Structures are given as structure tokens and as C-alpha cells.
Amino acid sequence: MRQGRKSYLSQQQSAWLLLAPFLVTYALFLVYPFFRGIWISLHDWNLLAVAFNPDAKDFIGLRNYERVMWGRNIEWGFTAPLLQGLGLIGLAFTAFLHRTNRLSRFNTIALGIVSLLLVVLPGFHPGEGGRWYDRRFWPTVANTVLFVGLTVPGVTVSALLLAAGMNRETRAMGILRTLFFLSQVLSVTVVTLIWQIMFSPRQGLIANITEVMGGTPINWLTDQQFAMAAIVIATVWWSLGIAMILFLAGLQDISSEIYEAAALDNARGARAFWYITLPNLRRTITLVVVLQIILHFQVFGQSHLMTQGGPNDTTQVLVRYIYQTGFRDSELGRASAMAVFLFVIMGAFSVIQFIIGREKDE
């Protein structure tokens, strides 16, 4: 940095030079594959056939999407009263909250859309003599949603409670946090390895303890009632740490003065948690929930390794179906159509996450 030394490159040139590695890799390994995925999804594309003869693919337009998501004689009606009813209540509730101005515009829209989807989506069903072209796709999506629906609240609630309990900078709390966080760094294959044996009705720790207590061990992974629960338990165990850390970070932003003021009003413990912690953490909670939805919607390893999607497809999830369609059945076109569907769902939640992230900055 000697004085008088002229720089050789202008600001603009430097910028492009510095950006080049990123732009190249980004274009090659993200942008291009993304569009290529859409292109593949418009073809009848057999993995092996195309490998031997690059021309062995037929352009078939949107047929893959139709074959995966649609059917013959599909009708719409109130055939799933429970879910659709819930959706209607949600709509009414949204309208009410909007009228009374209790919700921000964004939340109104989000809640409204979710309720509307609940009313609309479960209503589709095959009519007389009709059928879904792919009878596994929507049940698979439903399983994935169920997995997310069980895992996310499980993780969020337990992480929130633990974080609230451990929100003190002491040595003991530090150790406890470490213990809870430790499982987070393990890889999915280690997690499934551990829990596959944990759940085994013959060798499993859970079965061993049940037997000592005089119970009959449950066939966790092969019983339709428990298989989903089993992979949810393993997942909660695995991914609680990050939610807990995010909550702890959020808790530290709440100034202790608020608590002190509340203590004067006799709000301590559970009351303080309810009236002060929760409202102040609202943004963090939404963030954690959205983050978890995005993360767990892409579940693959737990289902692939612990239950192989079984029993009777009850733990079959979207990414595993994509993998199977692509690599077991060699149907890359159909698999890509499903991947595009996954992207649309993920994209929607990413937009929500982005908007929440922005709210803070403003």
C-alpha cells in the first residue's frame, strides 16, 4: 500500500472480476439446471434409454403434469368435510380479524390463502368411473404435509419451552444447551442409524425398557399407526437445536426491564412467559415456523432409510417419490414435473420468509 500507487482496475472492472466466479458457478449449477429441469419435465424421458440414445425423448408438453397431478373425471365438492370445514372456519375467522383490525395485512393474506386452499384442495375427487392418473402422488403430498404438520409444532413448542427455561448466561445452562444442540450436528444417516435400532421391537432400547416395565413392545417402524410418529420423533430429536438457538437469540433481544416492570405487576414464571415472552417473540416464532416448514418439506433420508416409505406408503414423502420415479422407474420427465411442484411450494414459503425477514429491517 505504497502512496501514489495507481490501481490498475477501475471500480467497475474490479466488481465484475470479483463477481465472475460466483456468476459462473451460479449460472452453471443453479440457473441452468433449474431451467433444464423444467425442460425435462416437458418430455417423456427415460433415464436409461436417453443414456444410450440421446434422441430417445419425446416432447409431450404438459402431459407429465397431467399424469402426475390430475385424473379422469375429477370433480369438486364438499367431500372432505373435516378439512374443508376447518378451511371455512379459517376464512370466517380471517374476515373477522380483518374487520376488527387485529391482523397486519400480510398475516391476513397468509391466513386467508391457507384457509382458501384448505377449502379448495381437499374438494377434488374422482367422480363416477373416474380416477387419479397417479394414485400415489396426492397421498404422498398429504403424508409430507402431515410430517411437516407434526414435526414443526413439535420442534417449535419444545424448543420454545426449553429456550425460555435456559435463557440465562450461566455455566450449567451453557452445558444444557450444548447437550440439546449436540444431535443437530449429526448427519441424517447417523440419526436414522441410531433411531432404527432404538425403535426395533427386538433390539431397541425403547422395547427393552417397555419389556422391563411389563409392556409389549411396539413395532414402531412397521406399524401403520406408529411409523410416521417414529420418524417424527427422530426428526424432532435431531432438529430441535437450531430452533432453540434461534429462540434464545430472540429472547436476548427482549430487554430485562420489561420483565422487571412486569414483576412489579406480579407477572412471573408462566404468566410472564405468556404475557411478555410470547408476544415479544412473535416474529421469531413465525420465522422459526416458516424455516422449519421449508426444511422439513424436503424430508428424504428419514423416510428412505428408516421405513422405506412403508408400511403401506404411510411414510412415503415427496422427495423420496421423486427419487424413486427418477432412479428406480427411470422416468425422469415425471420426476422432474414433481420436482417443479416441490419448487413451487418451497418458493411460496420462501417468499413468506423473505417478507417476514424484511419486516424487521423496516
Partner 1 sequence: MNRGYYWLVIALSIPAFIWLVPTLWMVSLSFQPNDVLARTTSSTAFGLVPLPFTADNYAALFTFGQTPWWFLNSLIVSLGMTLGVLAVSTTAGYALARLDFPFKRTILVICLVGLMVPEQAVFIPLYTMFADLGWHNSYHALILPRMAVPIGVFLMLQFFRAIPQDIEEAARLDGVGWLRIFWYIMLPLARPAMMTLAILTFLYAWNDYLWPLVSAQQREYFTITLGLASIQSNFAQSEGLGRVMASGVIASLPVVILFLIFQRYVVQAMTAGGSKG
Partner 2 sequence: MKHVLLTAAAAASFASAAPAQEVTLARFFGACEDAGTDTTTSVGEPCIIQSIINAASAEIDGVTVNTLPTDWGNYYDQVKAAFAGGTPPDVFVMHRHRIPEFAGLGALAEISGDLEAAGIDPADWSENALEAVSYEGGIYGVPMDFHANLWHVNMDLMAEAGLVENGEPILPSSPEELMEHAQMVKDATGQDYLAADFAQFPIGVRLVLALMWQQDSNIFSEDGTATINTEAGANAVTAITQLFDAGLANPQLNYADSQQAFLNGEAAVLVNGTWVVDFYAAEAAKEEVGLDNYYAADFPTLFDTGATWADSHMWALPSTIDGETRAAAMKVLAFINDHNIDWARTGHMAVRNSVVESDAYQSLPHRDEYAETAAIAKDTPPSERYGAIQDVLNRELQAIWLTGKPVEAALSDAELEVQDLLDR
Tell me the per-residue interface mask from 111 to 150 with partner 1, x by CB under 8 A, - otherwise: ----------------------------------------
What CA–CA distance (Å, rounded) separates 53 from 160? Answer: 55
Helix (DSSP H) and strand (DSSP E) numbers for the chain:
18, 4
Mark the segment that binds partner 2 (CB under 8 A) among 3-11, 49-57, 78-86, 267-275. 49-57
From partner 2, partner 1, none, interface partner of 329 (C-beta below 5 to 8 A by class) = partner 2
What CA–CA distance (Å, rounded) separates 185 from 172? Answer: 21
User: Using CA of residue 88, residue 94, residue 96, residue 99, what is the dihedral sign?
Assistant: negative
Q: Using CB under 8 A, which of 173, 313, 346, 349 touches partner 2?
A: 313
Question: If binding is defined by CB under 8 A, does position 272 make contact with partner 1?
Answer: no
The answer to whether 42 and 34 are in contact (CB under 8 A) is: no
Backbone angles phi, psi at 59, to 5 degrees: -75, 125
Q: Which three cell numbers stand for residue 206?
A: 425403547
Q: Using CB under 8 A, which of 222, 280, 286, 353 touches partner 2?
A: 222
Mark the segment that binds partner 1 (CB under 8 A) among 63-71, 147-155, 195-203, 253-261. 195-203
Size of the site for partner 2 (CB under 8 A): 29
Q: Which amino acid is at 57?
A: K
Query: CB under 8 Å to 136, separation ≥6 — which residues?
Result: 313, 316, 321
What CA–CA distance (Å, rounded) separates 193 from 273? Answer: 37
- Mapped onto helix, strand or coil, the DSSP state of residue 140 is helix
Question: If binding is defined by CB under 8 A, does position 327 make contact with partner 2?
Answer: yes
Least separation in angstroms between residue 84's CB and partner 1 is: 29
Question: If binding is defined by CB under 8 A, does position 72 make contact with partner 2?
Answer: no
Q: Which amino acid is at 308?
A: Q
Question: If binding is defined by CB under 8 A, does position 102 make contact with partner 2?
Answer: no
Question: If binding is defined by CB under 8 A, does position 166 make contact with partner 1?
Answer: yes
Least separation in angstroms between residue 131's CB and partner 2 is: 7
Binding stretches for partner 2 (CB under 8 A):
46-52, 131, 133, 135, 200-202, 219, 221-224, 308, 310-314, 323, 327-330
